[in-house]
Structure 1
Amino acid sequence: MTDQNPATVVLTGATSGIGAAAAQLLAGSARRLIVHGPEPASAVRPLLDRLRSAGQAEVVYVPADFDRLDDVVALADHVTGTTDQVDVLINNAGRPGAPQRRCSSDGYEATLQTNYLAAVLLTERLLPLVPGTGRVVHVASATHLSTTFDLDDPQLRRRYEPTTAYARSKLALVAHAVREAAHIRPGIVSVHPGVVATSLLHAMFAVRGEPASRGGENVVAAALRADVPSGAYLDERQVAEPAGQVRDATFREDLHRLTTKLLGPWLHRAS
């Protein structure tokens, strides 16, 4: 990846918080910006109007509910029908851990699905469009340093805590980026965008946080900076050491096998 304006960017979770801030920045530089959110287009029309007035980018909006992995497949197919190349894929969509454990429409713990499984599935479906000079960015969290991922209880059936569900979904994202850096040609990184004042933050933590614009800037920097090595975990703008479990190659491979098993029905499914 080079420090230049990307031709086509796909950004999930772009309708609020950090995603909306990143979209505003990218709309001024990208030629085509494909943004995703869970809402119908009519509900986010003011945002789309702002993005279209921010620069020359062609702005395409695709709604999808990551509580349904079929929607992720449909999103990937829509992108494939819109463009033949994705220079940057930013997996930003996320949700806080639910107050009480709940499962997605597909039967998986909902936080794990939205924050991790959906991101991996979208990445796998779009990788054929990402050139070797492209980049995939997983928006993670420093909370991943506070937890471990129990491979024997990936659905948190034994002991559920909202903050644990969130943190370990982000740990899985960081581990995925580290593992995939050795297996795919495009660069792939993960980034903690900062402690940012969003509804997601306030749903779990009693802290104020910084403006969403700062988080958006950190995400865009992770996507476009040429000096960030593939596999890196960024704490805002600095390359940092991820959690110890992430650095365990055996854990990364075991997580990969589990993820492939969970996503199996959707990896090659047509929408």
Structure 2
Amino acid sequence: MPPVGPAPTTLVLTGATSGIGEAVARLLIPRVTRLIVHGPQHPGEMDRFLGRLRDLGHSEVHYVPANFDDLAAVGALADRIAALTDQVDVLINNAGRPGPPTRQLSIDGNELTLQTNYLAPVLLTERLTALLRAAHGRVVHVSSATHLSASLEPDDLNMEHTAYSSTVAYARSKLGLVAHARWLVDQAPSPRFDAVSVHPGVIRTELLHAMFDIGGAPAAQGARNVLQAALSTDAWDGQYLAEDRSAPPNPAALDPDFRSRLMMQTFRLMRHVSADGRSFSVGLDGA
């Protein structure tokens, strides 16, 4: 296991209000200088949650809400984060949802699981690129071992021509994250930032039980694996971690042609998204 260093100055954690995300926040709060946590809830509902975090340490804590079913809200989230800090040392893209029983579309017309679990974190990463570069930071995508069995056709990201099931939709979205982590490292110009994807383990959460009738380990175990991915002193360089160690990902994620096609279609789905209604096209530089 690579050594884990001190917590960074500024860490952004999505999906921090429940499950693995909440457990990660609890582990980080005694160590990090500034923790920016995200969830879907209204800020007025978060006073008790934030109070519990602040009781665990003396860190500066900020809560920023966003509904990942709406890509414009993701753009607004990035703007709020940029107003709080001029650099992001680590971005942990943990927010996720189980696949719904039947195929559903987001506000933007994308398959719902794909948007929440893949498009939203990719867009947030793109919009925070300048802040990540400023810190020579790291992006951590919380993925899943289910991605190993997934097949993802870049020309059919929204499953218009692919048989839908909740578990298939979920696994496809997680394959996208694993491929994106490798793409980030391959494509990022200097000053670059690190990226890694991590399967935290089979963890006992509402998300797990929404799709699978199995048990799981406590959330704290998954949180420790995510923490290692975030704080390791070694560069990950786009690797995939199975819990606490590097492992071979789905072969598709290693294919440069697949990654290129995937990102071309990803950026196509994310075009014309902004918090204030102005259109823009996203790319590696957010332009």
TM-score by structure 1 length? 0.96
In 1, distance between residues paired with 2:219 and 2:135? Answer: 30
Code of the aligned partner of 1:207: I
* C-alpha displacement of 1:203: 0.3
Say which of 65, 75, 79 aligns to 1:73: 75
In the TM superposition, what whole-angstrom CA distance separates every residue of 1:115-145 from its partner, at most 9, and x where no partner exists?
0000000000001011353111000000000
Residue 265 of structure 1 aligns to a residue in which SS?
Answer: coil
In 2, distance between residues paired with 1:110 and 1:229? Answer: 30
Question: Contact 2:72–2:274 (CA<8 Å) still a contact in 1?
Answer: no
Question: Contact 1:124–1:267 (CA<8 Å) still a contact in 2?
Answer: no
- Taking only the aligned residue pairs, the percentage that are identical comes to 53
TM-score by structure 2 length? 0.91
Say which of 158, 176, 197 aligns to 1:155: 158
Tell me which moved more, 227-236 or 88-97.
227-236
Tell me which moved more, 187-196 or 157-166.
157-166
Match of 1:251 in 2: 258
Q: Does 1:164 align with 2:148?
A: no
State how 1:81-92 maps to structure 2 within 5 Å.
81-92=83-94
* C-alpha displacement of 1:150: 1.6
Q: Does 1:5 align with 2:12?
A: no
Match of 1:16 in 2: 18
Match of 1:137 in 2: 140
Code of the aligned partner of 1:157: E
* C-alpha displacement of 1:3: 1.5
Residue 164 of structure 2 aligns to a residue in which SS?
Answer: coil
Q: CA RMSD in A?
A: 1.6
Q: Specify every segment of 5 or more residues in structure 1 that has no aligned partner in the other structure, as ranges.
A: none
4+ residue runs over 6 A deviation? 267-271
In 2, distance between residues paired with 1:62 and 1:91? Answer: 14
Match of 2:281 in 1: none
State how 1:99-138 maps to structure 2 within 5 Å.
99-130=101-132, 131=134, 133-138=136-141
Match of 1:240 in 2: 247
Q: Does 1:198 align with 2:205?
A: yes
Question: Contact 1:132–1:187 (CA<8 Å) still a contact in 2?
Answer: no
